[in-house]
Amino acid sequence: MSRVDLVQVTKTYPGGVKAVDGVSLTVEAGEFMTLLGPSGCGKTTSLRMIAGFEQPDSGQVLIGGKDVTRVPPYERDTGMVFQSLALFPHMSVLDNVMYGLRMRRVPRPEAEARAKEMLALVQLAGYEQRRPHQLSGGQRQRVAFARALAVNPSIFLLDEPFAALDAKLRDELQVELRRLQQRLRITTVFVTHNQREAMTLSDRVAVMRDGRVEQVGTPQEVYEEPATVFVAGFVGMTNLFKGHVVAQDGGFVRVRTAEGFEIAGRPPRTNGAPPQALAPGQPVTVSVRPEALRLVQAGAAGAVGEAGAVGEAGTPTARESGEAAGESNGTGGIPVRVDMVRFVGELVEYHLFTPGGQEILCTYQRGQAAPAVGQGAQALVRVEPGEARVLWQ
């Protein structure tokens, strides 16, 4: 169990593509850290630099506080699970799991005992003599875990190991992986482009883009307090409204969207720096999660031109909420047309369109009192106070 530090690491591939661009990241001992991002964001290259398969052009890689930047992979003491798993097809399951121990010259009886122990840990006792091709996808995955962990490495590395599995199996193995990781208390770096996977597995998530780390934080932080527009859009579903600052009062920033509606939201994350006042007119983006939006019936009159006009035309509920919002944070509601209502099991999704044609997604949990608006209906959407976040553009 050791910590990992990437210090100002940069890697440029021949052809001038900067795969990793000045990344600094610390993974605490025993922590499960996920590098999350779209393909080409540098997450796999970062992982491969920790494993020693790639050399950074500049910067340092530290494992347990020791500089291993120039140490070859076979002396780094990491256990890696590859995207293709890379199980040795010419060896039995037992020989695969024993491989690392044998390479470390552990005597055979001892190595065999340890390998069997690992196989039992991943619930594969009895499969010792099988060949990898005789196993199911999930079993192969578990052999790869056992093989990487059998040598008791100080760092556990995983490169999109679940990419090839179907959703149900993936879920099962994720739970198993997390359990394994917590049981062994091993420092783990996990690479994925699947934000759901990142959220459910990790202690902390590093969201990467174009070779840089955009935000590091707990899954909850990254979801609820995205630092950038990219993070807000990549981690979970969100509705983004471009606009400019009207004023900042109290804890909220009032933003007028491009379509002319007003939304109040919490100011951008400062990442420790003192809060910066947002000047009126400053262009910003407001991110509102689908579950933070509330849908209210627009009443018989339907056609609502502007947010301010809501109170007069709406039902008592709409009027009330419109007024309340208007008073508390200067926000009315956004008139929308209901384009589609989808039932997704635990969720109900409302696909909405603003008069200007922007699509908005609004979700209700099963059991929540969902408004009785059907396809084609006119409605108002309003933001739960404090749930919108203003982001620098």
Q: State the residues that interact with other proteins by CB under 8 A.
A: 51, 53, 72-76, 78-80, 82-84, 86-92, 95, 99-100, 102-105, 107-108, 147-148, 151
213/271 Cα distance (integer angstroms): 13
C-alpha to C-alpha distance for 9 and 319, rounded to whole angstroms: 55
* Separation between Cα atoms, residue 334 and residue 261, nearest integer Å: 7
CB-nearer residue toward other proteins: 79 or 333: 79
Smallest distance from the beta carbon of 85 to other proteins, in angstroms?
8
Question: Is residue 387 exposed (0-12), middle (13-18) or buried (19+ Cβ within 10 Å)?
Answer: middle
Strand partners, 159: 191
Contact 363, 288 (CB under 8 A): no
State the Cα–Cα distance between residues 301 and 203, nearest whole angstrom: 50
**C-beta of residue 60 within 8 angstroms of C-beta of residue 70:** no
Tell me the two tokens of residue 92. 């039995």
Min dist. Cβ of residue 150 to other proteins (A): 9
Nearer to other proteins (CB atom), residue 80 or residue 334: 80
Query: Which has the closest alpha carbon to 218: 354, 12, 36, 21?
Result: 36
**DSSP class of residue 106?**
-
As a whole number of angstroms, the distance between CA 6 and CA 235 comes to: 23
Mapping DSSP to helix (H, G, I), strand (E, B) and coil, where does residue 5 land?
strand
Do residues 111 and 103 touch, judged by C-beta distance below 8 A?
A: no
Under 8 Å CB-to-CB from 292, ≥6 apart: which residues?
Answer: 383, 384, 387, 388
